[in-house]
Amino acid sequence: MNKHSLFPERGPAFWWTGFTALIAAGTIFILFVSLVIESVPVFKSQGLSFLWGADWFAGEAYGALPMIFGSLMVTGLAVVMVLPFALGSAILTSEFLNGRLRLVVKAAMELLAGVPGIIYGLMGIAVLTVWVRDVFGLIDGNTLFTAGLLLAVMILPTVMTLSEDALRSVPGEFRDTALSLGLTRMEMTLKVVVPQALPGLAGAVFLGLGRAMGETIAVMLVIGGIDRIPQPWFNLFAPGQSIPSKIGREAAEALGFDVQWSALIALGLVLFVMVMTLTSAGNLLLRRAR
């Protein structure tokens, strides 16, 4: 059988599916192209200083640095806080729990991964900001730390299930060999399984980070909303601003017009590049792990 007899005719099925594929591809194309084209005006008027300007005041100056800083900061905080819990529970689930219990944990995590961002936002504003203020003795609880903590809780289920998958995918022979060499279960896990699964674990973390960095609502309600890099910069308990939160707050005002709109789209472009870097790194690592 040659190729031609496999698909002898370009019948209605071909045209129909081709049409929908064209719609899908076209939409995605338009999305990416407008993201670039619409951000041109602000680069024209501000030059590259848009990227490292520290001052943002609608109608006067557009500097994205505080937002870029804020996004990196909350995402970094989130990963530091989520790591021990996500990896710990992933290792426990994959190596020490029996099959049934494992399935229950996995199902629960998949459910929890779907909790909408607005629920976390509500919790952040009603409970967490007050809690952070009182526990750390701050004058106010709307800080980068609060946002990072909220994000850590939010991505915990995602990072945990993906890490668990990565650990499970380490072939059984490795475990058998390790055990036959007289290692204990824990030694086997830490010295053999985890190193073997490392690319997969890293991939899981990167994907979680991508989600954290793109989250709007939960962060917007607790971060403080001020477009400023804290003094000193490592002061976690100062308010700040992340890129999605900034866009969320200003989009309605600028909808579709003027340099301000272009500046917001350009912020979106910067965010996309950052998230894309994280997720493609994650996907690459995950695929290599398999």
Partner 1 sequence: MNSRLFKERILLGSLYGFTACGCLVLAVILILVFTKGGLAISTAFLFEEARNFGLEGGILYQIAGTLILMTGAALVCLPVALGSVLFQTEFLHSPKLRKIFRLVIYALNAVPTIIFGLIGYLFFGVFLEAGVSWMTGVLVLAVMILPTLHVSIHEAVESIPKHYREAGLALGLSPGQQMRAVILPQSLHGIVTGTLLGLARAAGETAAIMFTATAFSGVRLPQSWTEPVTTLQTHILVLAQEAANPVALTHAWGAGLVLLTLVFVLIAATLWIRSGLEMEAQR
Partner 2 sequence: MPARFSRKVILGLALVLFGTGVFLQIGPGGVTHALAQDSTVIRIAGSTTVLPIVSRAAEQFQTRNSSVRITVNAGGSGVGIHGTGTRRLDVGLASREITSKEKNRYASSRLNTTVIGRDAVACVVSSEIFDSGVRSLSRQQIGDIYLGKITNWKQVGGPDRKIIVIDKEAHRGTRHVFMKYLFGKSNARAPGARLVTGSNNEEQAKIAQSDSAIGMLSIAWINNDVVGIGIREGHQVIKPTLKNVRAGRFPIARNLNLVTAGQPRGVVKQFVNYLLSKEGQVFVEVSGYIPIRSPQLMSQVAGSHSK
State the residues that interact with partner 2 by CB under 8 A. Answer: 57-60, 125, 129-130, 139-140, 142, 224-227, 239, 249-250, 252-258
Q: Is the peptide bond before 195 cis (omega within 30 degrees of 0)?
A: no
Of 49, 80, 54, nearest to 67 by C-alpha is 54
**Residue 12 makes contact with partner 1 by CB under 8 A:** yes
- CA dist 67 and 271 (Å) reads 10
DSSP state at residue 61: E
Among 40, 101, 181, 186, binds partner 1 (CB under 8 A): 186
Candidate segments 48-56, 60-68, 100-108, 194-202, binder of partner 1 by CB under 8 A: 100-108
Q: Give 127 or 233: the residue with its C-beta nearer to partner 1.
A: 127
Q: Which stretch binds partner 1 (CB under 8 A): 51-59, 83-91, 162-170, 225-233?
A: 83-91
Beta-carbon neighbour count of residue 109 at 10 Å? 21
- CA angle (14, 16, 18) in 5-degree steps: 65
Q: Which is nearer to partner 2, 122 or 183 (CB)?
A: 122
Least distance (Å) from partner 1 to the CB of residue 165?
14
Structure tokens at 24: 């899908």
| 205 closest CA partner among 285, 288, 112, 120 | 285
Strand 61-62 with 56-57, pairing: antiparallel
- The interface partner of residue 176, options being partner 2, partner 1, none and the CB cut-off 5 to 8 Å by kind, is none
- The entry of partner 1, partner 2, none that residue 110 binds, CB within 5 to 8 Å by partner kind: partner 1
> What is the DSSP secondary structure assignment for residue 236, as one 8-state letter?
T
- Residue closer to partner 2 by CB (options 8, 59) is 59
182 near partner 1, judged by CB under 8 A = no
217 binds partner 1 (CB under 8 A): yes
Of 53 and 199, nearer to partner 2 (C-beta) is: 53
- What is residue 87's three-state secondary structure? helix
Give the binding range for partner 1 (CB under 8 A) out of 30-38, 41-49, 196-204, 230-238: 30-38
**Which is nearest to 51 in space by CA: 274, 276, 286?**
274
Cα separation values, 124 from 94, 113, 130, 132, Å: 31, 17, 9, 10
Which CB, 59 or 171, lies closer to partner 2?
Answer: 59
Residue 255 DSSP symbol: T
* Residues pairing with 57 in the sheet: 61
The residue range among 46-54, 115-123, 131-139, 140-148 that interacts with partner 1, by the rule CB under 8 A, is 115-123
Rounded CA-CA distance 215/219 in Å is 7
Decide: is 126 part of the binding site for partner 1 (CB under 8 A).
Answer: yes
Nearer to partner 2, 31 or 255 (CB): 255
Q: Which residue number, 12 or 59, has a Cβ lying nearer to partner 2? A: 59
